[in-house]
Every structure is written in structure tokens, then in C-alpha cells.
Amino acid sequence: MSLQMVTVSNSMALIQPGFSLMNFDGRVFFFGQKGWPKRSCPTGVFHFDVKHNHLKLKPAVFSKDSCYLPPLRYPATCVFRSSVESEKQQYIIHGGKTPNNELSDKIYVMSVVGKNNKKVTFRCTEKDLVGDVPEARYGHSIDVVYSRGKSMGVLFGGRSYIPSAQRTTEKWNSVADCLPHVFLVDFEFGCSTSYL
């Protein structure tokens, strides 16, 4: 394995701290940026196209039945398969900072619904949770554990704005570490349980 420098051919200003990379069948996608100029790609999901040591960012395409996926910075992301043997790959996306610097508490499931040589079409769905729902946060971790034919999401860590009752004008956007809870999330049934 070797590292090589690449030249960014277009939209260098789109690459900002807090982005995520997702690998769908060997194609790498860049997620969590400002969006394409003139809003032709408001989700901020781009295909990383590297040819002859030049990097081009190509806006991703979403199906008509997709929900809106905001360009989140510093979200928790992980690969999810319904079973260890399953070939169908999805990404779970939780939390992160929105373009307005608000924190998200939503969970999105992103999957490929169509592909050809030129483009990949994604579907994004928002997953509602019941039970102990994790608070809005960023900079945290999520992963999926598989055991005995079942899967469970594990979410922990991160930072969040201090509670509104403790905010003052000077400290309105102050952040603090989230409580040391570990959330177990059943993506099939949409249930979440926290453990201290």
C-alpha cells in the first residue's frame, strides 16, 4: 500500500473539517459538507472520483422516496447489515451538527437502490426511536454488534450543548461531554435502551 498526493480539480472549498467517508461497493462517498454551489446537491453527499491523481467531487443522486438528509458534520456513522452474511450494506448516521450549528438527534439509514457505471442512486430514510432516545450530540461513536443471528447498535460518547436551563447569554453555545450512557439500539424495531 502506498500513499499518493492528489490534486483537487473542483470545489476545494467544500472540504471542511467534520466530514465522513462511506464506502459502497468500492466507491467512496464524502458526506457532511456545505452542499454544492447553487444547491444542486443540498445533502452534501459527493462521490470521490480519483482519476490520474486528480480528485473530482460529483454530487450524489437520491431516489424520489428519500427523506431529506442534511449535510451533518461530526456525525456518528457505521456500516449495518441485517445479518453478518448479508451482502446488502447500509450506513447508519446519527447526530452531528447541521449547517445552522444546531445538533441533530435523528438517525438516518442510507442504502444503495440503483447503480450503473456512471452513478449510484441512494435512498435515505429517517428512523424513529422509542424508549431511551439519545440526546442530540456530535463527535460520538456508533457501531453494530452481531451475535446469534441478531444485531444491535451501540452508541456512546460525544458532546452536546449545555441544558437550556443552564445557558446564559455569554455561554449560549457552550458544549459539555454527554453523560456516560451507553445506548443499545435495535434498528429492526426502533427501540433504544440506555445503560449507565
pLDDT in tens, 162-172: 877 777 777 77
35 within some domain: no
Q: Is residue 125 part of a domain?
A: yes
Contact between 111 and 122 under an 8 Å Cβ cutoff? The reply is yes
Looking at the domain assignment, is residue 29 inside a domain? Answer: no
C-alpha cell at 132: 431511551
Higher pLDDT, 173 or 152: 152
Look at the chain and report how many structural domains it folds into.
1
Whether pTM > 0.85 for this model: the answer is no
In a domain, 23, yes or no: no
- pLDDT, tens digit, for every residue of 110-151? 988 887 777 888 899 999 999 999 999 999 999 999 888 888
User: Rounded distance, CA 17 to CA 114, Å?
Assistant: 30
Check residue 40 and give its pLDDT: 52
Of 15 and 153, which is predicted with more confidence?
153
**What is residue 170's predicted lDDT score, i.e. its pLDDT?**
78
Report pLDDT for 30: 75
- Tell me, yes or no, whether 20 lies in a domain: no
Q: Which residue has the cell 486528480?
A: 54
Q: Are strands 107-115 and 159-161 parallel, antiparallel or unpaired?
A: unpaired
Closest CA to 139 of 54, 14, 20, 23: 20
How high is the pLDDT of residue 183?
94
Domain assignment present for residue 47? The answer is: no
Looking at residue 7, its pLDDT comes to 59
Domain residues for the domain of 73 are 61-195
Q: Is residue 17 part of a domain?
A: no
Distance CA 176, CA 186 (A): 27
| Alpha carbon separation from 20 to 8, 43, 145, 193, 194 (Å, rounded) | 17, 13, 21, 26, 26
Answer yes or no: is 5 within a domain.
Answer: no
pLDDT in tens, 55-111: 777 778 888 999 888 888 889 999 888 655 556 788 999 998 888 888 899 999 998
Count of H-run helices and E-run strands, the chain = 0, 17
Collapsing DSSP to helix, strand or coil, 14 comes out as helix
- The values of phi and psi at residue 47, to 5°, are -80, 130
**Secondary structure class of 165 (helix, strand, coil):** helix
Q: pLDDT category, 3, cuts 50, 70, 90? A: low
Average pLDDT over residues 149-158: 89
